[in-house]
A and B are shown apart, each in its own frame.
Chain A
Amino acid sequence: MLDKVLITKILQQALSTNADFAEVFIEDKFQTNASLLASKIQQVNNSKVFGIGVRVARGYQSVYGYTNSPKETDLLKLANDLAQSFPGEKQGITVELKELQVANVHKIKYLPSEVSIDEKVALLRRADVAAREYSDEINQVSANYQDYVQNVWIANSEGTYVQDRRVRTRMSIAAIAANETSKQTGFDGPGGFYGFELFKEIMSVEDSAREAARIAIANLHAEECPSGKMPVIIDNGFGGVIFHEACGHSLEATSVAKGASVFSGKKGEIIASPLVTAIDDGTIPNAWGSAAFDDEGNPQIKRVLIKDGVLNSYMIDKLNAKRMNDLPTNSGRRESYRYEPTSRMTNTYIDNGTSTFDEIIAATEYGLYCKKMGGGSVNPASGDFNFSVGEGYMVRNGKIAEAVKGATLVGTGSQALLKVDMVGNNLLRAQGMCGSASGSIPTDVGQPTIRVSEMTVGGRKAAN
Chain B
Amino acid sequence: MNFEKLFALAKEKGIEDLQVYYVDDNQFDIEVFKNELEKYTIANTQKLSVKGIYDSKMGTVTTEVINEEVFDFLIDSVIASAKTIDSEDEVFIYAGDKEYKNVPGLFNESIYDVSAKQKIQDVLDLEKKVLEKDERIKMVQAFYSDGAVEVTIENSKGLKLSKKVNDGLIGVYVIASDGKDQRTGIDYIRSNDYADFDFETVAEEGAKRAVSLLGATACDSGQYEILLSKEASASLLTPHVGMFSAESVQKDISLLKGKVGQLIANTNITVIDDPFMKKSAKSGSFDDEGVATTYKELVKDGVLTGFMHNLKTAKKDHTKSTGNGFIGRGIAPTNLYIKPGDLSYDDAVKSMKKGLIITELAGTHSGTDPISGDFSLQASGFLVEDGAVVRPVALITVAGNYLQVLKDVKAVCNDLKFNFGYIGSPSLLIHSLMVSGK
Measuring CB to CB, which residues of chain A are less than 8 angstroms from any residue of chain B?
34, 37-38, 40-51, 61-69, 78, 81-82, 85, 117-118, 121, 140, 176, 182-185, 227-229, 258-260, 262, 338, 340, 374-377, 379, 381-382, 384-388, 406-408, 410-412, 456-460, 462-463
Contact = CB atoms under 8 A, between A and B. Distances in A.
Given A386-B378, A406-B374, A338 B45 contact: yes
Given A64-B42, A68-B44, 20 more contacts: A38-B87, A41-B87, A42-B85, A44-B84, A64-B39, A67-B45, A258-B139, A259-B139, A260-B139, A260-B175, A340-B39, A382-B181, A382-B394, A408-B376, A408-B377, A410-B378, A410-B397, A458-B399, A459-B399, A460-B400
Contacts of B365: 375, 377
B183 A382 contact: yes
Nearest 10 A-B pairs (CB), nearest first? A458-B397, A375-B366, A386-B378, A227-B436, A63-B40, A44-B81, A48-B63, A40-B87, A408-B376, A386-B363
A409 to B, nearest CB: 9
Best-buried of B33, B369, B378, B394 by chain A (most CB within 10 Å): B378
B399 A45 contact: no
20 contacts: A34-B84, A41-B86, A41-B87, A43-B85, A44-B84, A45-B61, A50-B65, A63-B37, A68-B45, A82-B40, A118-B84, A183-B253, A183-B372, A382-B394, A384-B394, A411-B395, A458-B397, A459-B436, A462-B222, A462-B434
B366 A45 contact: no
Given A49-B64, A408-B376, A379 B84 contact: no
Contacts of B37: 61, 63, 85
B221 interface: yes
Contacts of B159: none
Contacts of A78: 42
Interface string B414-438: 0000000000000000000010111
B182 interface: yes
Nearest to B174: A381
Contacts of B66: 68
Nearest to B394: A384
A64 B43 CA distance: 8
A183 B371 contact: yes
Interface of B: 33-34, 36-46, 59-66, 70, 73, 77, 80-81, 84-89, 138-139, 175, 181-184, 218, 221-222, 251-253, 362-363, 365-367, 369, 371-372, 374, 376-378, 380, 394-397, 399-400, 434, 436-438
Contacts of B40: 62-64, 82, 85
Contact of B377 (A68, A340, A386): A386
A456 B218 contact: yes
A138 B88 CA distance: 22
A46 B45 contact: no
Given A38-B251, A377-B365, A48 B62 contact: yes
A228 B437 CA distance: 7
B362 A377 contact: yes
A184 B372 CA distance: 8
Contacts of A63: 37, 40-42
A117 B81 CA distance: 8
Given A34-B84, A66-B43, A183-B372, A47 B62 contact: yes
Given A260-B175, A377-B362, A460-B434, A68 B251 contact: no
Contacts of B80: 44, 46, 117
B43 A48 contact: no
B395 A456 contact: yes
Contacts of A382: 181-184, 394
Best-buried of A228, A384, A407 by chain B (most CB within 10 Å): A384
Given A63-B40, A183-B372, A376 B363 contact: yes
A62 B374 CA distance: 44
Given A228-B436, A386-B378, A176 B87 contact: no
B64 A176 contact: no
A43 B61 CA distance: 10
Nearest to B70: A48
B399 A67 contact: no
Nearest to B73: A48
Nearest to A64: B41
A386 B365 CA distance: 11
Given A140-B253, A228-B436, A44 B45 contact: no
Contacts of B36: 61
Contact of B64 (A50, A182, A183, A229): A50
B184 A45 contact: no
Contact of B397 (A37, A379, A386): A386
Contacts of A385: 378
B399 A460 contact: yes
B238 to A, nearest CB: 14
Given A68-B45, A340-B41, A117 B84 contact: yes
Nearest to A56: B40
Contacts of A463: 221, 436
B378 A458 contact: yes
A408 B218 CA distance: 15
A376 B70 CA distance: 41
B436 A386 contact: no
Nearest to A63: B40
Nearest to A48: B63
B41 A45 contact: no
A176 B376 contact: no
A95 B14 CA distance: 52
B45 to A, nearest CB: 5
A185 B371 contact: yes
Contacts of A227: 221, 397, 399, 434, 436
A408 B94 CA distance: 45
A426 B434 CA distance: 37
Contacts of B369: 185
A71 to B, nearest CB: 11
A461 B362 CA distance: 20
Nearest to A245: B363
A411 B73 CA distance: 51
A48 B62 CA distance: 6
B62 to A, nearest CB: 4
A176 B371 contact: yes
A48 B65 contact: yes
A345 B46 CA distance: 30
A69 B358 CA distance: 47
A258 B399 CA distance: 35
A414 to B, nearest CB: 11
Nearest to A375: B366
A388 B34 CA distance: 36
Best-buried of B36, B77, B138, B438 by chain A (most CB within 10 Å): B77
Contact of A81 (B34, B42, B65, B395): B42
A411 to B, nearest CB: 7
A66 B70 CA distance: 21
A42 B81 CA distance: 10
A408 B63 CA distance: 41
A462 B433 CA distance: 12
Contacts of B366: 374-377, 386-388
A66 to B, nearest CB: 5
A65 B81 CA distance: 34
Nearest to A46: B77
A49 B374 CA distance: 38
Contacts of A140: 251-253
Contact of A456 (B84, B181, B252, B436): B436
Given A47-B63, A48-B62, A42 B436 contact: no
